[in-house]
Amino acid sequence: MSSRVIHLLLLCSTTTTTTVPGGGPAAAAAAAAGAPPPSSSSSSVRVRVQVGLPPGRRAKSRLVLPPRCASSAGMEPGATTALYPLHRCKTIYLVRHAQGIHNVAGEKDFGAYMSHDLFDAQLTPLGWSQVDGLREHVKKSGLAEKIELVISSPLLRTMQTAVGVFGGEKYTDGVNAPPLMVENAGHSGRPAVSSLNCPPFIAVETCREHLGVHPCDKRRSITEYRPLFPAIDFSLIENDEDVLWEPDVREANEAVALRGMKFMDWLWTREEKEIAIVSHSGFLFHTLSMYSKECHPTIRDEVSKHFANCELRSMVLVDRSMLGSYSPRFNYPGKIPAGLDLPSDIADKKLVEEAEKN
């Protein structure tokens, strides 16, 4: 099986690496999550998520040896740093949705996650307060001006979080643009959110939470969502109804991790370089655990720990296998002098070559 070669790097930190070892992705994901290797029954879990690659674009995977990750002992000089061309990097901002009604119910009684009353759970009043706090941080830090695209899981709580944090100011009548969210969407009690002066929003199935069994993780039809979130682009979702969620089959952890890696591959089909992604605790944890499993324990713990509600983490996504095809924007080719100004190392090489000829 081909190895995954996209990497996640923490900003201003040690390199983190992702590969899927030859022993099998299921075993690797289980090990990363601290679980025993999956049994033969768990490997039969069905996952039918479309990555959403544009026509004619296919992600490539090549077998590449992972770069050095510093171990806790015997650290070599220079082993904790890495260099990558800037045009082969994207900055991603990973966000877990704010507190939902299912989080409150599940904390009191885990069995509540089976309740159909929590179907497609919406945010709580505390959750909306968390959204307001993160929105203020995003604006004050200057991040609001940097983000070129917002990707959201197509569930009510993630889309509410996404538009609340990264959307435009309050929507007013007379503005000739559809709102990102209409007033009181999902019984939020919130005013409409404008789509002006903010990045585009798209909904993507691949970054959903664990599929199956829990009604809170089942989405509504796209026909129901469109009137609530008019300016969100749902065109990458192939089916109106939720055909991925099954009442009696819960997606395995290793399947979630592999789906997450497909999602990261798909990001390289996008032209945007600064992307915010609003997703879920399980999806983020298992995906990042897979990516960080061969890194130094300190970095692994930092990358793969569970997200709090409405937590944001900034990371760098590195393309080591030319999945993307982007030209460097800031590089300048220059010219090597042909005369006396020839660089000394090249001149020395030429002297050696001349000597060998004679």
The separation between CA 165 and the C-alpha centre of its own chain, rounded to angstroms, equals 17
Catalytic residue chosen out of the listed positions 7, 97, 102, 210: 97
Query: In sequence order, which ranges of 175-307 are alpha helices (DSSP H)?
Result: 222-228, 253-267, 281-292, 297-304
53 within 8 A of 266, measured Cβ to Cβ: yes
Catalytic residue list contains 209: yes
Catalytic residue list contains 97: yes
Q: How far apart are CA 1 and CA 210, in angstroms?
A: 24
∠132-137-140 over CA atoms, to 5°? Answer: 120
- Using the structure block, give the residue that is written with the tokens 């909904």: 203
Catalytic residue chosen out of the listed positions 7, 102, 205, 209: 209
Residue 20 CA: distances (Å) to CA of 29, 66, 84, 94, 209: 9, 10, 21, 22, 21
- Using the structure block, give the residue that is written with the tokens 């000089």: 77
In order, the DSSP letters of 314-341 are EEEEEESS--S-PPPSS-------SSTT
Burial of 4 (0-12, 13-18, 19+ CB in 10 A): buried
Region for 243 from its dihedrals, namely left if φ exceeds 0, alpha if ψ lies in -120 to 50, beta otherwise:
alpha
Catalytic residues: 97, 209
